[in-house]
Structure 1
Amino acid sequence: MLNWYSIFFNNKDSLRDLNLNIEQRPNFPVPERDIRIIDIDGRNGSLTRDLGTYKDIPVPISFNLVDRNDIHQTVRNVKRWLIGNIDNRELIQSDDPDYFYKVKQVKVDKEIERMLWVAGKFTATFLCAPFQYSRKGQNTISLRKPGEIYNEGTFQSEPLITIYGMGNITIVINGSLINLKNIDEYMIIDSVSKDAYKDSINMNNSMIGAFPILQEGVNSITWSGNVDSVEIVPNWCYL
């Protein structure tokens, strides 16, 4: 058991808060690229279509638990932590604290195996988005004039962009134009959810153009119109 290793998920540390020992560090998951295989009668071999995306990754982790006082309550706490209401879906490993996975679903063994009177063991599988995300990539980059930002990740990222200004504005990212109509103070463009909005008001109809992505390396950002500033949460990600 690796008593010095833990994970942080749903606002709790597995070792410090729940007294769970992890049997071994999980392997490094590798996402599978989405490639369609198309078989055609009378043709040697198949055709392939690369969709340019990746599939979700499972991260299985096996835990041991020991509680000499009240193992029943410990089991209840563990189940609530993993399959109850999830307030924070970041999965962080104690030996890699500056990066995290985004968890979509947690599956736990159908039962927690009981060993002796005070111990148990089980495996939880965290189904995650295909990438790791850096903590640094959650910081806001502020631009008060056109410029460049550098994507430190190993794949294109889907940023959250806030444009402060008034009226009709055009944002140009790596040569791709995004036209924004009738901005009143600000508009938020969320490339992950594919939504444009202000407060709780959907403004997709006020945006013309594709939701922006930030390529690996240098990204050029310019604009025209009455713009005060542009703020970007880049969401740097890694395969």
Structure 2
Amino acid sequence: MADQRVAIVTGGSGGIGRASAERLGADGFAVVVHYAGNRDRAVAAAGAVTGAGGRAVVAGGDVADETAMAAVFDLADSEFGGVDVLVHTAGIMPLAPVVDLDLDTFDRVQRTNVRGTFVVDQLAARRLRPGGAIVNFSTSVTRLQMPGYAAYAASKGAVESLTLILARELRGRDITVNAVAPGPTATPLFLDGKSQQLIDQIASANPLGRLGTPTDIAETVAFLAGPGRWVNGQVLYVNGGAA
């Protein structure tokens, strides 16, 4: 299957990452499901792809570690023959007001979310085949200005800048670079630590009257990874009209 397209999905053990891996698998991609800490969930995600008739392997590593992430790209090469698409969903979201946030936590957010994006985007820029796509992840909080999200939103503002500049730097390569900016989405990352009352309040504030689902976000990922070739250097707000 030398002509099969190949995708790496970072954070593939998480809600949006797993949904994206499964959707790309259904679209015919061979998928490398990356995980940082939860190998069992990554294996389950890969199993969902192979169980539906697709091809998938798992790979672990810290997204901010260039050696570990180079090994993920190497695995894609050895298992599937190359890489066409990077879907970079991996990230962390500790929340606290600016006045209270521990600076070590701030540094950890920037290392994972900013350096991690730079590391995997750099590898993708060097190694993706023509016709490929880089799909980074931002957040609608960069528009919503929600208290408590300053460190996270700051990191994602940096991701947006990196995305827009890299798209221009890859002129002539036939590689698109975009960022998906979800709104409130029913994933463990979002739901953790929130009361049901707060979750219901956030859901009801959306014009469509609900939270997003990982599948909603994966639809946009699949579009950018596949037919959406004329969308490049953009941040797509995928939030049901929340912002």
**TM-score after normalising by structure 1:** 0.23
Instruction: Give 1 or 2: higher strand fraction.
Output: 1
**TM-score after normalising by structure 2:** 0.22
Q: Which has the larger radius of gyration?
A: 1
Instruction: Give 1 or 2: higher helix fraction.
Output: 2
